[in-house]
Structures are given as structure tokens and as C-alpha cells.
Amino acid sequence: MTKFNSYLSCQVYAHPTGYWRINWNKFDFAILVVTIVVALSESVTHNAATWLRIGRTLRIVCVFRILNHVRGLQILILALVKTITEWVAPALLLLLIIMYVFAIMSDHYFHTEDVWWGTMGRCLLSLISYFTVRI
């Protein structure tokens, strides 16, 4: 019996004790229970709601379990990671170096303008804003 088939046979309705042996199932259950308890409570603070959204978002990680079972998806993900590390990361690094040089230049020329160009950090953030948002 393969790992995937044994996982399928461990569903709650088929084998309740086998369901609790898998840590991902425990994680899903904990997130579900916390979500229900917080939803039923009358006073939910903004901080608790934020942490609850983060916990529910972490459930997406459970989807990556399928990578153990589908060989084609493993190859696709490995190709994506290899592409990012060999092509995208050096291009991003080069872009950041160029932006840093321009931030130094803008700090030198516009250091009296405190709103956008006062410090090196503001210069870099202003340049990022101009490069990405402004047309």
C-alpha cells in the first residue's frame, strides 16, 4: 500500500484513530476549532482577529503535502525554484544595486527636501515608489 493510499484510508469516517496520527490533520482541526470559538465569542479584538486570519492562512501550507505524491508536480516546482534562483534573483540583485546607486545620488542632490529625500532610507523608498507606482 502506498503512502498516498494509506493517507486516504485514514480519513475520519473510515478510520477515526488513524486520522489523529497525521500531524497535518491535527493542525487543521486546531485551526478549525479556534476559528469557531473566536467566531462565537462576542468580543473579538482586532489583534485576535489578525492572528486568526494568519492561522487560517497557514492552512494553505497543507496543500504542499501533495508534492510527496505527484511526481510531475515535483518536477514543475523544482524547475520553478531553479529558474528563480538562476535568473530572477540575479536580476533583482542588479536592480537593487542600481536603485541603491540612484538613492545615493538623490540623497546627494536632494538632501534639503525632507519630505521625500531627507535620509538615505527615504531616498530608497521614494525611488522604489517612483519605479513601481508612478507612470
Classify burial at 37, counting beta carbons within 10 Å of its beta carbon; exposed 0-12, middle 13-18, buried 19 or more. exposed
Residues in the chain: 135
Q: Report pLDDT digits (tens) over 68-89.
A: 778 888 898 899 999 999 999 9
Which pLDDT belongs to residue 1? 43
Nearest-angstrom CA–CA distance, 83 and 97: 21
pTM for the structure as a whole: 0.48
Amino acid at 77: I
- The confidence score (pLDDT) of residue 82 equals 94
Q: How far is CA 73 from the centre of its chain?
A: 19
Average pLDDT, the chain: 76
Q: What is the pLDDT of residue 43?
A: 63
- pLDDT at residue 6 is higher than 60: no
* pLDDT of the residue at 12: 58
